[in-house]
Structure 1
Amino acid sequence: MSGISTLHAATPGTDESTVGLPPGLLDRVRHYRLERLRRQLRTSQVAAIVLYDPVNIRYATDTSNMQIWTGRNPTRYVMVFADGPVVGFEFHNCEHVWHNVPVKAEIRSAVCWNYFNAGPEAASNARQWSREISDLLRQHAPSEHQVAVDRLDPEGLHALREQGIQVVDGQAIMELARTIKSDDELAVMQAAIDVCELGIQRMHDVLQPGMTEQELWAHLHFENIKLGGEWIETRLLASGNRTNPWMQECSPKVMRKGELIAFDTDLVGPFGYCADISRTWTVGHVRPTDDQRRLYAAAHEQLHTNMHLIQPGMTFNEFAERSWTMPAKFFKNRYSCLAHGIGMVDEYPSISYFQDHGYNGMFEAGMTLCIESYIGDEGGNEGVKLEQQVHLTENGCVPLSTFPFETDWL
């Protein structure tokens, strides 16, 4: 329990003036997100949640510390009470990442019990960790004997149970809290999309035969980092026969004139928000073949048909049943979902094809979504990937990503 202090959370990376956000907007976003989480805790009748996922920590507190590394190494965590304090447990000598943002928090030193940090003392450290968590729970919610956790290794689960604490699923609480975006949150998301589209434009401008896929992909990273973005979740860029089937990450393959090149950005931009956009071009921006145009027209039709179909109050199952009918020759290679939520990263919901029997739910105004399409013949040579990021309003989907489609191919 050493190193206890009361600080304010920090702004990672970019500030508001860098991308033209109005003063005070980020503070309103931080307040909105923390209150969304606390409201969801109350709805779930859970007194507190322990967060290890760095994206959940970012949502609740707007603090960031080596997100990819801490995503693999559980060395910082936050405990948020529905009606009580925020307690941040920070990695060694990193209390400074909690400065200058008005999310008041009590800061303590993290107790690390992953094997990398604790070695043979992992079980002992986990017991120390669980005693501190249970003491906080008894202090701020004395009648409660359960806590939500978003991610927890078996050693920690066992240690909390030894303290008489029941663990409930925190992932559902966080996903539902993150579902509805405020107008201010949309402005911050739009800043990330704008940066992403500058990166896409850079890729478009430099694309030429003889480049490798990796060389082209590097231009998206460059623009994102230069403009205050943070990281990219995947490496989904492929060309030629590597576009079919989809989900092949970029490689040293040299791209040839006239073949298709497709990508999926999955980009976490300024302020930690995701821009998830897919487009398909020809290498060298030459006129596509008739077969390439056939694939593109089907993907374009699927995406726009489904985008115009979604309305608030529609169930996921109803949307899946009424969605664009995919010809049998494309069905085996279909994308993993028809649409999914988007925020700081991919979020709830993920809507399956009707034939795949996904879970049900209901679309609500205020959701932000990505509408997906991948079209490639079973056993075919090439495929087309398209994806559009949208805001669901009372009147339907409004595109947030504005980078043009290849409408002259249709």
Structure 2
Amino acid sequence: MAGDRLSEAKSTVEQGGKEALLRDVRASRLARVQAQLRAHDVPAILLYDPVNIRYATDTSNMQVWAGRNPARYIMVFADGRIIAWEFHSSEHVWDGLNLDVELRHALSWTFFNAGHEAERRAQVWAAEIIDVFRKHAAGDQRLAVDRLDPFGSACLEKQGITLLDGQALMETARLIKSPGELVLIGESLRTAETGIARMRRELRPGITENELWAHLHFENIRHGGEWIETRLLASGDRTNPWMHECSSRVLMDGDLLAFDTDMVGPHGYCSDISRTWLVGDGRPSDEQRALYEHAYAQVHYNMELLRPGMTFREFSEKAWKIPDPFVRNRYCCLAHGIGMVDEYPSIAHQVDWDSSGYDGLFEAGMTVCVESYIGAEGGKQGVKLEQQVVLTEQGCVSLTACGFETDWL
């Protein structure tokens, strides 16, 4: 059970220390990638997504930049062998890792790096990829890839390689969290909670949204975190509809202030917490309290409902029914997976099922974010709440102690 695994992992930290925990996490993550390759009878996967590379190898190198500029990549074989093409003079990021890895120099063929020579360089790149792959693939021509630009895909396919959906394999590998991962997720969440507490202390009329948001960034970086994926903090009439990113707007007494952390913290794990507060020392209005009560009810009803063994469709069908005035501005999903970043699955509202829903099964050991946004169409304010949980055999267990405004209820 997930709760037992968390206790086990904490015990491992106490007995063997952080390095032992990290070794266990690295080994279990790589093993899950290998297991997915074997389950789909695929000899290897080529990874460019920095999050997937981090999951498989625990290496991190300019993650946000590398997400836009495909300048480092790895190939993981089903037997665990890793070939890594590292960015210029960055081999040191692999120091201290107990991995069976062969390091090579990456060749980038983006227009930024290659200009009008991009297609020719892609051919050189493909020749090396194919050579490495065929040496170890025992005649198999199928290679899973998580992401690849058109020149690269065309070059590989021209040489007879069949490309498969590697992102699906990686998302499935990342689905169930090991005991050690739950501990590392907890460390990221404690960092987020420290940042949220700092924001709460600094919350006052006269501060700008940008100034307030900077306090979360400060604590994340101070504690060894990596980046924040969005700028979702809004106040006053910018809280409706949701998805306004923070600005130079000055907070005013009586405003609602809502945010969504989307924070990739220490060890590369995401902390995804949404809360809504009142600016100033007053009491929320009746309208603000009513909005909050609905959002709080949605999150907690759905947390109580969610169980391992439940299908995604069943959860969507049984989820808290959003009152009609708030349906139009509903959040984009009821819940979603969470790990190093937002992950599979994304659970559609029943009203959206035909257009964007897909089925699957909730399992113990999954970490999930349960979502709510309540704001009337044409309204002037709204409430955003989100809780990060782990699924156990008994149901949802909250992973964060960050409180709600229960005195508003």
TM-score bracket, shorter-length normalisation: over 0.9
Q: How far has the Cα of 1:286 moved from its partner?
A: 2.6
**What do the CA deviations read for 1:69-99 (whole angstroms, capped 9, x no partner)?**
1100011001000125101101111111110
Q: Does 1:345 align with 2:331?
A: no
Q: Measure the CA separation in 2 of the matches of 1:124 and 1:206.
A: 54
Partner of 1:372: 371
Gaps of 5+ in 1: 1-15
Alignment equivalent of 2:306, drawn from 310, 327, 340 = 310
What's the counterpart of residue 207 of structure 2? Answer: 211
Q: Provide the C-alpha distance between the structure 2 equivalents of 1:84 and 1:351, rounded to a whole number of angstroms.
A: 32
Is 1:63 aligned to 2:62, yes or no?
Answer: no
- AA paired with 1:328? D
The counterpart of 1:177, out of the listed 173, 197, 200, is 173
Asked if 1:387 is matched to 2:386, the reply is yes
1:157-236 paired onto structure 2 within 5 Å:
157-236=153-232
Q: Quick one: distance in 1 between partners of 2:291 and 2:383?
A: 6
SS at match of 1:201: helix
Q: 1:237 aligns with which of 233, 236, 260?
A: 233
Question: Which letter does structure 2 place at the counterpart of 1:221?
Answer: H
Report if aligned partners of 1:230, 1:268 keep a CA contact under 8 Å in 2. yes
* Offset at residue 355 of structure 1 (A): 1.3
Show the counterpart of 1:405.
404
Q: Kindly provide the CA deviation profile for residues 122-165 of structure 1, in whole angstroms up to 9, marking residues without a partner as x.
A: 11111111111111121111221010110011100100012110
Q: Distance in 2 between matches of 1:150 and 1:80?
A: 12
TM-score, length of structure 2 as denominator length: 0.95
Contact 1:126-1:159 within 8 A present in 2 as well? yes
Alpha-carbon separation, structure 1, partners of 2:100 and 2:272 = 32
SS of 1:390 mapped into structure 2: strand
Alignment counterpart, residue 250 of structure 2, candidates 231, 250, 254: 254
In structure 2, the residue matched to 1:12 is none
Deviation of residue 121 (structure 1)?
A: 1.3
Alpha-carbon spacing, 1:101–1:254, altered in 2? closer, same or farther (3 Å): same
2:264 is the counterpart of 1:268: yes
User: CA-to-partner distance for each residue in 1:335-384, whole Å, 9 max, x for gaps?
Assistant: 00000000000000000001101011000000000000000011111000
Corresponding residue number in structure 1 for 2:278? 282
User: Structure 2: where are the runs of 5+ without partners?
Assistant: 1-11
Query: Structure 1 pair 198/84, CA: closer, same or farther in 2 (3 Å)?
Result: closer
Distance 1:386 1:116 in 2: 40
- 1:225-266 Cα distance to aligned partner (Å, 9 max, x none): 011111000000000000000000000000001110000000
Aligned twin of 2:9? none
- Is contact 1:245-1:383 (8 Å) kept? yes
Number of residues paired by the alignment?
Answer: 393
**How many angstroms does 1:21 deviate by?**
5.9
Question: Which residue is equivalent to 2:6?
Answer: none
CA 137–208 in structure 1, closer or farther in 2 if over 3 Å, else same: same
Instruction: Give 1:362's aligned amino acid.
Output: L
Q: Which sits farther off after the overlay, 97-106 or 211-220?
A: 97-106
CA distance in 2, matches of 1:119, 1:98: 29
Larger helix proportion, structure 1 or 2? 2
Q: Over aligned residue pairs, what C-alpha RMSD do you find? A: 1.3
Distance in 2 separating the partners of 1:142 and 1:129: 21
Aligned-pair identity (%): 61
* Preserved contact between residue 84 and residue 140 of structure 1 (Cα < 8 Å): no
2:139 is aligned with 1:148: no
Question: Which consecutive segments of 4 or more residues in structure 1 shift more than 2 A?
Answer: 20-23
Query: Structure 1 length normalisation: TM-score?
Result: 0.94
Are 2:31 and 2:80, in contact at CA under 8 Å, matched by a contact in 1? Answer: no
Q: 1:223 to 1:49 in 2, by over 3 A?
A: same
- Give the AA of the match of 2:370: I
Question: Residues of 2 paired with 1:284 and 1:64: CA distance?
Answer: 41
